[in-house]
Amino acid sequence: MKAAVVNQFHEKLEIKEVPIPELEHGEVLVKIKACGVCHTDLHAAHGDWPVKPKLPLIPGHEGVGVIESVGPGVTSLKVGDRVGIPWLYSACGECEYCLSGRETLCQSQQNAGYSVDGGYAEYCKAPAAYVAKVPDNLSFEEVAPIFCAGVTTYKALKVANVAPGEWVAIYGIGGLGHIALQYAKAMGMNVVAVDIQDDKLELAKELGADITINGRNVDPVEAIEQAVGGVHGAVSVAVTKKAFEQAYRSVRRGGSLVVVGLPNDELPIPIFDTVLNGVTVKGSIVGTRKDLQEALDFAARGKVKAIIETQPLDKINEIFDRMVNGQINGRVVLTLE
């Protein structure tokens, strides 16, 4: 099968023929039709994080397609079913986190396109228990981004605990952020969208953001203070430390900052302000299988819709270059025949 492979960190991905994965007990083989390109895939290809991915690696954790075959013991899915393979590739099912509905914290989890091969390929295998069915009315291209960008931001907004009618700020209107703001609107929140590029903010306006702020031209913290007196929640999905610091300072008393973007950096937090303002700072990592079902349901009902640009698998290196330079609006989705 054809796949895009990371052989070494910081090197271009190689488009090459590799063997189709062999199924083990409980697994399904998916003929991939589309796979979104997440900034996490770029972090993986660069070896950015303290925990490194396997090498060589086939990235991709927004892979969706049709089940080609099922391994022994699979009863919940059949050949021909339309499914997607998310970042949470598998978890142990037995630890305190798995047992308490917090499986994304499982210390024995595997991650698609990171610790195991993912969706930048013609085929990808996965445990039947962790793939999710694609709603009938959604195309593979449009649903792919829901498998990471969608579920991650939907979950982050739940964690932010902002009530309908209250204000949330989304820092970074990229692949995740442009979907985050749609979930926020669908959940009844008022939205401030912050980015450093005007085209991203124009998209945010079209998608329903109530206020847009270009952090390159004005201080978003002051602008938010003046406009709404601070937000009840802020979600940072940008990849720069500055955005996180600003997001923290945008939050009003009693509010929360949800940390989602993953620059390999630190966020210095003033102790005095955090204590006196009663601010919560919380990390949020993708979402559980239940979160994913809910996130997919929003998409199936037309309440959120990823803005996508489709490209063939061979273009992945150019797409990564554009991502580094912030030249992607919405999500790029790789299509496979």
Instruction: Decide: is 250 part of the binding site for ligand NAD (CB under 6 A).
Output: no
Q: How many residues does the chain have?
A: 337
In angstroms, the Cα distances linking 26 to 74, 125, 127, 131 are 5, 10, 6, 11
Instruction: Decide: is 243 part of the binding site for ligand NAD (CB under 6 A).
Output: yes
Segment near Zn ion (CB under 5 A); pick from 145-153, 230-238, 295-303, 314-322: 145-153
The least CB distance from residue 152 to Zn ion, in Å, is 6
Which residue spans within 115-166 are E strands per DSSP? 123-127, 132-133
**Contact with ligand NAD (CB under 6 A) among 69, 240, 310, 335:** 240
Of 74 and 88, CB closest to ligand NAD: 88
Q: Are strands 331-335 and 308-312 parallel, antiparallel or unpaired?
A: parallel
- In whole angstroms, give the CA distance from residue 100 to residue 291: 14
Give the footprint of ligand NAD on residues 258-297 (CB under 6 A).
260-262, 284-286
Give the contact letters, 91-130, x = binds to Zn ion (CB under 5 A), - = no. Answer: xx--x--x-------x------------------------
Q: Tell which residue, 108, 98, 113, has the closest CA to residue 42.
A: 113
CB contact at 8 A, 32 and 143: no
The site for ligand NAD, by CB under 6 A, has a size of 34
Segment near ligand NAD (CB under 6 A); pick from 15-23, 33-41, 68-76, 109-117: 33-41
**Contact with ligand NAD (CB under 6 A) among 4, 85, 194, 292:** 194
The least CB distance from residue 308 to ligand NAD, in Å, is 12
Segment near ligand NAD (CB under 6 A); pick from 72-80, 125-133, 224-232, 256-264: 256-264
Instruction: Decide: is 223 part of the binding site for ligand NAD (CB under 6 A).
Output: no
Instruction: Decide: is 201 part of the binding site for ligand NAD (CB under 6 A).
Output: no
- The DSSP secondary-structure symbol of 146 reads G
- In whole angstroms, give the CA distance from residue 3 to residue 49: 23
Segment near ligand NAD (CB under 6 A); pick from 77-85, 193-201, 265-273, 307-315: 193-201
Give the footprint of Zn ion on residues 36-55 (CB under 5 A).
38, 40
What six digits make up the tokens of 33? Answer: 């039709």
- In whole angstroms, give the CA distance from residue 44 to residue 52: 7
With CB cut-offs between 5 and 8 Å by kind, which of ligand NAD, Zn ion, none does residue 175 bind?
Answer: ligand NAD
3-state DSSP helix/strand/coil percent for the chain, to nearest 5? 30, 25, 40
Segment near ligand NAD (CB under 6 A); pick from 159-167, 181-189, 291-299, 323-331: 323-331
Of 45 and 83, CB closest to ligand NAD: 45
What six digits make up the tokens of 270? Answer: 């003033």
Longest dimension (CA), the chain: 61
Burial class (CB in 10 A: 0-12, 13-18, 19+), 128: buried
- In whole angstroms, give the CA distance from residue 56 to residue 123: 16
The least CB distance from residue 173 to ligand NAD, in Å, is 5
Of 42 and 77, CB closest to ligand NAD: 42
Instruction: Decide: is 45 part of the binding site for ligand NAD (CB under 6 A).
Output: no
Give the residue carrying structure tokens 């938010």: 224
- In whole angstroms, give the CA distance from residue 254 to residue 308: 36
- In whole angstroms, give the CA distance from residue 187 to residue 150: 13
Segment near ligand NAD (CB under 6 A); pick from 51-59, 111-119, 175-183, 269-277: 175-183
Which residues lie near ligand NAD (CB under 6 A)? Answer: 38-40, 43, 148, 152, 171-177, 194-197, 200, 215, 237-240, 242-243, 260-262, 284-286, 323, 326, 328
